[in-house]
Structure 1
Amino acid sequence: MTDKNFVNFHILISHSPSCLNRDDMNMQKTAIFGGHRRVRISSQSLKRTMRKSEYYARHFGQPSIRTRELGKLQQKLVEALKDRYPEDVIVRAFVWISGKEGLAEKSVSDIAVAPWAVEEVAWFCDKIQSAGEAADPKILQKQIEKDSAPLRAAMASALDIALSGRMATSGLMTNIDGTMAVAHSITTHPVDSDIDWFTAVDDLVEEEKKQRLVGETEKGKSEQGSAHLNTQEFSAGVFYRHASLNIPQLQKNLGGAPREKALEIARHVLHLIATVVPTAKNQSTAPFNLADFAMVSFSDIPVSLANAFEKPVEEKGGYLAPSIEALKNYWRQVHRGYGLDERVAAFQLGGSAGEPKTFDSLPALEEWVEKGGEE
């Protein structure tokens, strides 16, 4: 059985009333799709939620440090590596990578936010120590251009860089092509938002109010007890989440890792995209919903099934069941219409027989992914 280069993830998750991702006007992010307004969760929001989750830390380790505050970052790296290298070596390595002198005083206004890996700096520190006075960034630049695998292997601990990629603009920081494409999640149906009018009550003002004399109250001198009044847009809906993972590129980004390592990562990506919830307004809406349906395909090309919902799903005792059926039906059309050579399986909460092969637990589908879709 030939290896497939892409793992495609298709997730349906129903969120209770919430406001998971907001724009610059503090309103829900939306998009027009199929001529109808859908609520949207940006790919940046989902990727950051995945990267900052406890599950990520447990299985992948600490993520990269994303910042443009290079002065503060330099101090953080010196602290992290002080038991391994002298401070002057760490600072020298950092200057080589960034291509910028005087980092402690550097203004951040003209620097883009970039992901940094501690072990990347450590790799450069090793090179500087080995070469001693002969250490030359130009020579090292040529070595990296000829073979970047050792450096990428050293950076493998910051897996989010291997997944999302990095654009470098100066110094010896390497460009890395992303391996995981993540779509903006959209609702499978049109959504009309509701408005929540809320208050924050000042306990002491309210207590004073209760102690006021009736006469003073009648004169309108009492306070209502609200220290803050505001409105917040919210809604509920079934969201389609999609991501595609390029296995060969991931292996390359990890310094030539075996396919088995990339498939292990794919298993964890599935778990993350099926379970993470953006953190906006969590304490006031508790939208901790897990995926009701997840389908994964191993294919020769990346494939999105978003057009299953170009015509909005119609409510039939809810939106979840018809969304699942619409996704399955559209997959069959694409699979057969294009003659795709795929290995496909799904997880459906509660189980469901039929095509594609369906498991009744997410861990079972995760195990199938880790085995490359083979029985």
Structure 2
Amino acid sequence: MNKNFVNFHILISHSPSCLNRDDMNMQKSAIFGGKRRVRVSSQSLKRAMRTSEYYQVHFPEVSIRTRQLELLGKELTQLAPKIDEKWISKSIELFSSKVIDDSDDGVESDEESTQKKIAVAPWSVSEFKTFCALVQEIYESDLNEKDYESLKKAIEKEGKRKATAKKPKLSDDEVKDIFLAKIVKRELKERTEAMVKACGRTTDIALSGRMATSGLMTNVDGALAVAHSITTHAVDADIDWFTAVDDLQEIGSGHLDTQEFSSGVFYRYASLNLQQLQKNLGDASREQALEVAAHVLHMLATEVPSAKQQSFAAHNLADLALVCFSDQPLSLVNAFEDPVKETGNGFRRPSINELHDHWQKLAVGFDLDDSCAEFVLEDVEVPKGISAVESLSALKQWVQNNGED
């Protein structure tokens, strides 16, 4: 059984909290089924997973997300002490410069002479070490005959060019520096496999992907799709009116404010493309990808965003974790399009029942042959076609066993 997609379905109940806020300092929400639901964004959940202690233990290398390349250079100097600081600085310079384009004349245009605006992006230390080694190799090596002749032509062309106020003449060394930078880009294209393999050591990039913000950055298609989690039921939020007492002020308080909060049962959904993950990890085996999948399951079932936790302490674990090996990504969120109703026994059990009922309808209606297993805290009847396991650890082992009991 080698189905390519692993679909994760999590139900997790949170006591009064405010786990994810918008620009107005209100809880993030969404309208679904015509009713307001409290929402936790996928970005918030992924960051909680990426910065968790569990992640640090099982995936030692975490990406550095920044647009401040000067600060990145200082960080890399500490993380990669064996690399000469000169080559770290040169690599940062190449990433942030516009001189590297698809032209072959080796001389920058007026527009290219400015620094490139870099968006916030995840950087891999392993990838950067590989890139620094490439830069050092090219800048310290002798040019081959073809490149040497091309450089001579570029220097001659620059020597004949008329200088302007905006663009003064470049020295021979400056022309050579630009020329070598373009060789770096050319070589980078030929060594894509090595760069992807180095980048794959940073598992969060392999999972979430990366949109290239520089001509030198490796573009990575994400293997893990994570949905915004929403409550299975409609929510009317409460408002906490609070004060900050000033111990040295006799009358009144030092600060007054309000904070929206609520509680509810949230449905989390994520889908993992195993083949894409194997590629992103540098052509890893399916077994290696399944090990990562098991860790993803653990984090989806246990990690909670940190917002306002000192005020609400909504540290809760999953009530249900259902995993299916499938031929396609498949969310079960429509189980809750008609909001779950509270009938005197809370929302957890009816949410579990609605999830099971919707899964059964899809399995029958579309002749699904998914391999599914589930860990659930409540004493409920598990539908035929879903294997019941006793613990999250057992479910993780089932994932690592390729969906086989």
**TM, length-normalised to structure 1:** 0.89
Number of the residue aligned with 1:214: none
- Aligned equivalent of 1:93: 91
In 2: Cα distance, 1:341 partner to 1:108 partner: 54
Alignment-derived partner of residue 194 in structure 1: 238
The number of aligned residues is 352
- Runs of 4+ in structure 1 over 6 Å off: none
Corresponding residue for residue 309 of structure 2: 282
Question: In the alignment, which residue of structure 2 is the partner of 1:203?
Answer: 247
Mapping 1:279-358, distance limit 5 Å: 279-316=306-343, 317-350=345-378, 352-355=380-383, 356-358=386-388
Structure 1: unaligned runs, 5 residues or longer: 102-106, 210-222
Q: Which residue in the other structure is 1:152 paired with? A: 196
Question: Aligned-pair distance for 1:372?
Answer: 1.1
| Cα deviation code 1:171-213 (max 9, x no counterpart) | 31011101100000000000000111111111122xxx3xxxx
Give distance in 2, aligned partners of 1:147 and 1:334: 45
Residue 161 (1) aligns with residue 161 (2): no
CA shift for structure 1 position 126: 2.0
Instruction: Give the 3 Å change call, closer, same or farther, for CA 77–35 of structure 1 in structure 2.
Output: same
Rounded Cα–Cα distance in structure 1 between residues aligned with 2:350 and 2:380 = 14
- SS of the residue aligned with 1:325? helix
Shift of 1:125: 1.9
Larger radius of gyration: 2
Asked whether the equivalents of residues 39 and 230 of structure 2 are also in contact (C-alpha less than 8 Å), the reply is: yes
Distance 1:108 1:243, change over 3 A: farther
Moved more, 349-358 or 316-325: 349-358
CA drift of 1:358 comes to: 1.4
* Equivalent-residue separation in structure 2 for 1:112 and 1:152 (angstroms): 20
Q: Judging changes above 3 Å, is the alpha-carbon distance between structure 1 residues 111 and 66 closer, same or farther for their aligned structure 2 residues?
A: same
Q: Equivalent residue for 2:52? A: 53
Q: Distance in 1 between matches of 2:66 and 2:324?
A: 35
1:108 Cα offset (Å): 9.8
- What secondary structure is seen at the aligned counterpart in 1 of 2:254? strand
Report the residue type matching 2:256 in the other structure.
Answer: L
Q: CA deviation at 1:318?
A: 0.6
Contact 1:351 1:358 in 2 (8 A): no
SS of match in other structure, 2:358: helix
- AA in 1 matched with 2:60: G
Q: Secondary structure at the match of 2:22?
A: coil
CA contact (8 A) 1:98 1:171 kept: no
- Taking the aligned partners of 1:153 and 1:232, their CA distance within structure 2 comes to 46
Report what 2:396 is aligned to. 366
- Asked if the contact 2:61–2:201 (Cα under 8 Å) also holds between the matched residues in 1, the reply is yes
What's 1:218 paired with? none
Q: Distance in 2 between matches of 1:248 and 1:143?
A: 27
| SS of structure 2 residue aligned to 1:167 | coil
CA shift at 1:314, angstroms? 1.0
Deviation at 1:78, TM superposition (A): 2.2
Give the distance between the partners of 2:226 and 2:267, measured in 1 at CA.
12
2:288 counterpart residue number = 261
Q: For 2:248, what is the secondary structure of its paired residue? A: helix
Report the alpha carbon displacement of residue 12 of structure 1 after superposing the two structures with TM: 0.3
Distance 1:84 1:285 in 2: 45
> Whole-Å Cα distance in 2 between the matches of residues 183 and 246 of structure 1?
14
Contact 1:69-1:108 at 8 Å conserved across structures: no
Aligned equivalents of 2:96, 2:196: Cα separation in 1: 17
Question: Which AA in structure 2 matches 1:253?
Answer: N
Number of the residue aligned with 1:112: 119
> Which residue, out of 263, 275, 279, partners 1:252?
279
Give the structure 2 partner of residue 73 of structure 1: 72
Post-superposition shift, 1:133?
A: 3.0
Matching residue within 178, 183, 190 for 2:222: 178
Q: TM (normalized to structure 2)?
A: 0.83
Q: CA RMSD in A?
A: 2.0
Corresponding residue SS for 1:149: helix
Query: How far off is 1:354 after superposition?
Result: 3.0
- The CA deviation at 1:300 is 0.8
Show CA shifts across 1:220-266 (max 9, x none).
xxx13x11111111100000000000000000011101111110000
CA positional deviation for 1:274: 0.6
Shift of 1:7: 0.4
Identity score, percent: 57
